[in-house]
Amino acid sequence: MIGAVPALLVVAFAVTALLYASVGFGGGSTYAALLALSGLDHRVLPLLVLACNIVVVAGSTVRFARARILPWSGAVVMTALAAPAALLGGLTPIDRTTFLALLGASLVLTGLAMLLPVTKARPAEPSRAARFMPLIAVPLGYLAGLVGIGGGIFLAPLLHLTRWRAAREIAATASFFILVNSLFGLIGQLLKNGHEAFGGAIAGGLPLLLAVVIGGQAGSLLALKVMPGRWVRGLTALLVMVVGVRLIAGI
């Protein structure tokens, strides 16, 4: 069960959703870190985090699809391979120390990934490594279900490095990837922890869910035009790396 939610945590979730949605991600890794630092049971934590992920990326995925930006053939292949792994990750028991270590490492890697340059122009030709991206997506799906993140934050930089598609198509693919993996990971967590745990997490975390709905919609619609995208990515990267190191140091 989740007790009273501090107002500062609600604000932090809204800001996280706004920042991540503005650069095409769900924010699951940072939600998880914030909840872990607040002392929430690590077994309940992924249930709420994955639910937050879903409500943030669902809207952006629909918008990408309506705009015909989402490259369905490639996105579906990668996601179809990753989703069963996300389900398996959700079903896997994990102790608190291992959970925090994986989450902390995920945050540090997330920050590093967000610092990689993003090319706006359409790539002339995908690299040879691009064909292996569906296989790389499988371990990312497992990690997504295990610690309650979407995995798209790791997938997107790899797609950019291999020149898999144009930047907007990669953002759309990452959004779809996060949505489906979060759904399958949540199913695994439900089967492992039971519906009562999920009901308690959602009921207690309702203010946080509402916060990410508002923040996510604001971020995806406004795209933070008041601040250059590279600044947003840099500040977000710094934030998540600091939190990741703090989690690892506290184990």
Residues 6+ apart with CB under 8 A from 216: 17, 18, 20, 21, 26, 27, 55, 56, 57, 59, 60
Structure tokens at 207: 């203010």
With contact defined as beta carbons under 8 Å apart, do 46 and 147 qualify? yes
**Structure pTM?**
0.86
Give the relative orientation of helices 7-22 and 206-222 as an angle to the nearest 10 degrees: 30
* Structure confidence at residue 182 (pLDDT): 94
Domain definitions of the chain by residue range: 7-249
Structure tokens at 228: 């250059």
With contact defined as beta carbons under 8 Å apart, do 116 and 46 qualify? no
* Structure confidence at residue 123 (pLDDT): 58
Structure tokens at 46: 């992924």
Residues 6+ apart with CB under 8 A from 117: none
Query: For tokens 């919609």, what's the residue?
Result: 217
Structure tokens at 134: 């569906």
- Which DSSP state fits 26? -
Number of other CB atoms surrounding residue 42 within 10 Å? 20
Kindly state the helix (H) or strand (E) to which residue 3 belongs, with its residue range: none
* Structure confidence at residue 224 (pLDDT): 46
* Structure confidence at residue 197 (pLDDT): 86
* Spans in the chain with pLDDT lower than 50: 224
Number of other CB atoms surrounding residue 127 within 10 Å? 12
The region, left, alpha or beta by phi > 0 then psi within -120 to 50, assigned to residue 230 is alpha
- Which DSSP state fits 227? S
Mean pLDDT (the chain) is 85
| Separation between Cα atoms, residue 202 and residue 204, nearest integer Å | 6
With contact defined as beta carbons under 8 Å apart, do 64 and 70 qualify? yes
Per residue in 190-236, pLDDT tens? Answer: 999 888 888 888 888 899 999 999 998 887 776 545 555 566 667 66
